[in-house]
A and B are shown apart, each in its own frame.
Chain A
Amino acid sequence: MDALRLLPILGVMLFMLPLFWPSGADDAVASVPMSRAITYVFVVWAVLIAVALLLWRALWLTGGPVTDGEAAQEDPL
């Protein structure tokens, strides 16, 4: 459950990492080539999705926090 909560925070950190890359505007440092940027973004994306998938499977197998019965209870009519 905690992993589920932490996943988006990890995602935010990883996706905000490009903020520290040298940008094209800075002449002093060679900027990151676009191909590497694309690869980075999509690899991070894929990893996050894979982790989410695994967590979902674990949740599913253990019965999960939301069951049909629970959802049905709210519906009095």
Chain B
Amino acid sequence: MTSVNQLVGVCLVYVAFLFAIAFFAERANARGRGGWIRSPWIYTLSLSIYCTAWTFYGAVGYAARSGMEFVTIYLGPSLIMLGWWWVLRKLVRIGRAQRATSIADLISARYGKSNLLAIVVTVMAVIGVTPYIALQLQSVTLSLGAFADPGEADSLSQASVGFWVAFGLALFTVLFGTRTLNIHERHSGVVMAIAVEAVVKLVALIAVGVFVVWGIAGGVMPMLERIDASPIGEWQMDRSRWAALTALSAAAFLCLPRMFQVLVVENDDERHLQIASWAFPVYLALMSLFVVPIAVVGLDLMPAGSNPDLFVLTIPLSEGRAGLAGLSFLGGFSSATSMVIVATLALGTMVSNHVVMPVWLSARSVDGAQMSGDVRQVVLLSRRASIMVILGLGYLYYRMSGGGAALAAIGLISFVGVAQFLPALIGGIFWRGASRWGALAGLLAGFVIWVYASLLPSFGPDGAMSARMLAEGPWGVGLLRPQALFGIEGLDPTVHAVVWSLTLNTALFVVVSLVTFPTPLERLQGAQFVNVFEHSGAPREWQAALATSEDLMIMTQRILGPDEAQALFRREAARQGRAGHLPEPNQAFLQALERELAGSVGAATAHAMIGQVAGGASVSVEDLMAVADESAQILEYSNQLEAKSAELTRTAGQLREANEKLTALSVQKDAFLSQISHELRTPMTSIRSFSEILRDTEGMGQVEKTKYASIIHGEAIRLTRLLDDLLDLSVLENGQVNLNVQEGRLEDVLEQAVVTASASGSGALQIKRRRLNEAMPLVTDLDRLAQVFINLISNADKYCDGDPPKLTISVVDGPGALQVRFADNGTPIAPGARSLIFEKFARIDGTPGPGAGLGLAICREIMLRLGGDITLQTRPGGNEFVVSLPREAAMAAQ
């Protein structure tokens, strides 16, 4: 039989071995040869601290008492890992982006770096995990007791064993975890050691399982038959417990401080999570594969009344396999130590960062962070003290609870306690509306119910609560009975605590979040957390001008150490392109520095320290814009896009129209050029010919001379008129024309125009007028107006092909303008030509006539100058030119 002393010796050797592994792993990492330490497999194995001594011993006892229910504790984490895409991926990314050092750090960072929240979470975590640590002490003590001879038992009082185990673990953790202050709060040595321990406990449990199945039962099939024949051979389950425990273990997996430490803080590479997503469920399945067989064989072989929690040890012992029992003991020891180390490390970090440091800082707030001396020593010291205190609390709980309760029950109490973080955590990373007060209210409500309904009753009747209070409620109020709140009886105590605490927690969290308004910093952080995959900028801003590099340097040195700090500052100065080793304290630098410090002392403390040096943080309008409601942003953006696109479409349409017009005009111009050269050439040719005749012919009669000279004169006049028209148009278009405004009557202007036009026309055109309507006074440039009328009448004279050609001139006194209509009975102008006839040089294809295509262009320019317009309306029987005169021209004269 292995003596207890031997076992203690083995344990010491084992611990020394672990220490060596941790030491070499850290050294290899420091030398940059630590690639294999950061492999995904080490990461997966380090997650196995989920499987504590409770798992190792307690699961078998659990199975012996309630059958398959134990497996729920593994199903929850398996589902979380399999569903890593939903929550863990985001959590890990946020943890890395924000340099979270613990779950308290993460929650406080999310809710505006609230230190109050960090303290609440820390205190809750310490209280919640204390039973768990007690559990580890209890299991180690129990397992040692299993090896002790009955006679030896007295000398090995449980209390003293528990004390020495606690002391040893505290020493171990302090030596391991707080030797240095790590920038990222990552402990490669510790991770390596717990990975080794993970292998040891898995091998130990499988070894016992294999021994039980093939060594005792004789194979798989006989084992299954034996299971069916055993007292737990029938499927018995409490349905509410099955569902509640699966959910609870899933929640605890996310919320346990030690799980957060290994899952998020120690995560080196997000891809490791992908591998762990299937590798860790494999580990869990293997850990639970042999639990039921061991329990069944134990129930079979062991005398009635023996503790089923210790079957893993007692079965090999009773079969005389001392070596196997030793291995199994080592497995249980590994489970306990790895859990205690990481849990106290995580809690110690939380306590020192969120409770001790803020208190220490505020106690020296006058010149706080700038004092001489090394803050690192303070941080390390507070961490070591915290670890001692936490283990001390665990020991105290172990003594108080009497060490009697089943392991699984204690573990579940812890689970319910830490699961209270879940609403604040999940709400924080998925819901931007979650507010600090909501989180605080939810946490406190859940915590109070947990203490009242789960923790205090766990001390047993007349422990912390009197038996009467348990049975009848405080002051006899039945509605407040700790294990039947609001009169709902018959629920399993664990399910009862889970349901009530989490329901009220979530309800208060949501309701208070809805009615309170988050601070700007909270909104900022909320946006960063919820949209961590979209943007990872650092939005908060310091009033950088207030800080000097020297102050920052002094402060940083004291947290990171002189070498680290100087390296950091030099790097930053190099990036800013400055010589020397002091960078300019601008926004970017302060934010980077804050994140760096947060890696060592937590977000809230780092924020406060920088705040002391740099003055208050300011939030710019841009930041607020960034947090403005996302849907509003998207809406505004799409509205802008829509408006822009409409504008573009409009502009494109206008451009296309202009282009078509230009193209058509260009064609017109080409046609005109050939036309005008022809027009100019004809008179020039006759002028040249007749002048040559005049010069060269001798003996020409006076009559002939006069005739030829007249022809030359007429042609010259034609040329002059053409050039006059061009000049007139150009003057009108440039706006250089001077209007000669005078009073007159429309009928006189029309009369003059008709007479003038008829005099030079062919005389074939019949003009109809309604003189009665024409009696209108006018104030305008009468000569220019007459020019327009003359042009229109002579155009009709020239081009109207009606038989006989007729022109009807009517005056309409419309509401907006005075209209003079010139309607002829010629061929209607083709639709394509209508928009062009008022352009310069426009001539309708195929029409005969001497014009150069300037008349109508001049008319339009004149009418625009006069404030009116001229348009063409085509009717079935001909064309109608409408000259509109502005109302004022007519009114002013009346």
Pair from one complex: yes
Q: Residues of A at under 8 Å CB distance from B?
A: 1, 4-5, 7-9, 11-12, 15-16, 18-19, 21-25, 31-35, 37-39, 41-42, 45-46, 48-49, 52-53, 56, 59-60, 64, 66, 68, 71, 73-74, 76-77
Task: For the complex formed, measure the closest distance between the CB of A75 and the CB atoms of chain B, giving whole angstroms.
Answer: 8
Alpha-carbon distance A48/B285, docked complex (angstroms): 11
Task: For the complex formed, measure the closest distance between the CB of A12 and the CB atoms of chain B, giving whole angstroms.
Answer: 6
Closest to A33 in B: B228
Question: B78 in the interface, Cβ–Cβ < 8 Å?
Answer: yes
- Given contacts A18-B242, A35-B224, A52-B277, whether A24 and B78 have CB atoms under 8 Å apart is no
Contact string against A for B residues 51-72, beta-carbon threshold 8 Å, 1 for contact and 0 otherwise: 0000000000000000110010
- Given contacts A8-B82, A18-B242, whether A23 and B278 have CB atoms under 8 Å apart is no
**A18 touching B237, Cβ below 8 Å:** yes
- Given contacts A15-B246, A18-B242, A52-B82, whether A31 and B236 have CB atoms under 8 Å apart is yes
**B292 touching A59, Cβ below 8 Å:** no
Task: For the complex formed, measure the closest distance between the CB of A25 and the CB atoms of chain B, giving whole angstroms.
Answer: 7
Task: For the complex formed, measure the closest distance between the CB of A54 and the CB atoms of chain B, giving whole angstroms.
Answer: 9
Alpha-carbon distance A34/B595, docked complex (angstroms): 53
Alpha-carbon distance A38/B63, docked complex (angstroms): 12
Contact string against A for B residues 572-590, beta-carbon threshold 8 Å, 1 for contact and 0 otherwise: 1000000000000000100
**B86 touching A23, Cβ below 8 Å:** no
Which of A31, A32, A71 is B269 in contact with, Cβ under 8 Å? A71
Closest to A52 in B: B278
**A12 touching B79, Cβ below 8 Å:** yes
List, in ascending order, chain A residues with CB within 8 A of B232's CB. Answer: 34
- Given contacts A48-B82, A64-B271, whether A33 and B234 have CB atoms under 8 Å apart is yes
Task: For the complex formed, measure the closest distance between the CB of B445 and the CB atoms of chain A, giving whole angstroms.
Answer: 27
Question: B877 in the interface, Cβ–Cβ < 8 Å?
Answer: no
B659-674, CB < 8 A from A: none
Alpha-carbon distance A64/B237, docked complex (angstroms): 41
List, in ascending order, chain B residues with CB within 8 A of A48's CB. Answer: 78, 82, 281
**A34 touching B68, Cβ below 8 Å:** yes
Interface size on B, residues (CB 8 A): 49
- Given contacts A15-B75, A34-B67, A49-B282, whether A23 and B235 have CB atoms under 8 Å apart is yes
Alpha-carbon distance A34/B69, docked complex (angstroms): 11
**A41 touching B68, Cβ below 8 Å:** yes
Alpha-carbon distance A11/B285, docked complex (angstroms): 14
Closest to A7 in B: B82
12 inter-chain pairs at a CB distance below 8 angstroms, sorted by A residue, are A5-B85, A5-B86, A7-B83, A15-B246, A32-B234, A38-B68, A48-B78, A49-B282, A52-B277, A56-B277, A56-B278, A77-B571
Task: For the complex formed, measure the closest distance between the CB of A40 and the CB atoms of chain B, giving whole angstroms.
Answer: 10
Task: For the complex formed, measure the closest distance between the CB of B290 and the CB atoms of chain A, giving whole angstroms.
Answer: 11
- Given contacts A38-B68, A42-B285, A52-B281, whether A71 and B270 have CB atoms under 8 Å apart is yes
Task: For the complex formed, measure the closest distance between the CB of B866 and the CB atoms of chain A, giving whole angstroms.
Answer: 69
List, in ascending order, chain A residues with CB within 8 A of B235's CB. Answer: 18, 21-24, 31-34, 37
Alpha-carbon distance A34/B296, docked complex (angstroms): 11
Closest to A2 in B: B85
Central interface residue in B67, B228, B237, by most chain A CB within 10 Å: B237
Question: B97 in the interface, Cβ–Cβ < 8 Å?
Answer: yes
**A41 touching B592, Cβ below 8 Å:** no
B77-132, CB < 8 A from A: 78-80, 82-83, 85-86, 89, 96-97
Q: Is the interface of B mostly helix, strand, loop or mixed?
A: helix
**A8 touching B233, Cβ below 8 Å:** no
**A49 touching B228, Cβ below 8 Å:** no
Task: For the complex formed, measure the closest distance between the CB of B249 and the CB atoms of chain A, giving whole angstroms.
Answer: 12
Alpha-carbon distance A37/B246, docked complex (angstroms): 16
Which of B78, B89, B236, B595 is A23 in contact with, Cβ under 8 Å? B236
Alpha-carbon distance A38/B285, docked complex (angstroms): 11
List, in ascending order, chain B residues with CB within 8 A of A9's CB. Answer: 83
Task: For the complex formed, measure the closest distance between the CB of B724 and the CB atoms of chain A, giving whole angstroms.
Answer: 76
Alpha-carbon distance A7/B281, docked complex (angstroms): 13
List, in ascending order, chain B residues with CB within 8 A of A32's CB. Answer: 234-235
Closest to B75 in A: A15
Alpha-carbon distance A66/B595, docked complex (angstroms): 22
List, in ascending order, chain A residues with CB within 8 A of B96's CB. Answer: 71, 74
Task: For the complex formed, measure the closest distance between the CB of B227 and the CB atoms of chain A, giving whole angstroms.
Answer: 5
Alpha-carbon distance A12/B79, docked complex (angstroms): 7
Closest to B81 in A: A52
Task: For the complex formed, measure the closest distance between the CB of B745 and the CB atoms of chain A, giving whole angstroms.
Answer: 84
Closest to A5 in B: B85
List, in ascending order, chain B residues with CB within 8 A of A15's CB. Answer: 75, 79, 246
Alpha-carbon distance A15/B242, docked complex (angstroms): 10
Central interface residue in A8, A24, A25, A32, by most chain B CB within 10 Å: A8
Alpha-carbon distance A46/B282, docked complex (angstroms): 8
Alpha-carbon distance A2/B568, docked complex (angstroms): 42
Task: For the complex formed, measure the closest distance between the CB of A67 and the CB atoms of chain B, giving whole angstroms.
Answer: 8
Contact string against A for B residues 837-873, beta-carbon threshold 8 Å, 1 for contact and 0 otherwise: 0000000000000000000000000000000000000
Question: B2 in the interface, Cβ–Cβ < 8 Å?
Answer: no
Question: B596 in the interface, Cβ–Cβ < 8 Å?
Answer: yes
Closest to B85 in A: A4
Closest to A20 in B: B239
Closest to B225 in A: A35
Question: B536 in the interface, Cβ–Cβ < 8 Å?
Answer: yes
Closest to B269 in A: A71
Which of A1, A25, A42, A73 is B236 in contact with, Cβ under 8 Å? A25
Question: B216 in the interface, Cβ–Cβ < 8 Å?
Answer: no
List, in ascending order, chain A residues with CB within 8 A of B239's CB. Answer: 19, 23
Task: For the complex formed, measure the closest distance between the CB of A52 and the CB atoms of chain B, giving whole angstroms.
Answer: 4
Central interface residue in B85, B236, B536, by most chain A CB within 10 Å: B85
Alpha-carbon distance A65/B228, docked complex (angstroms): 47
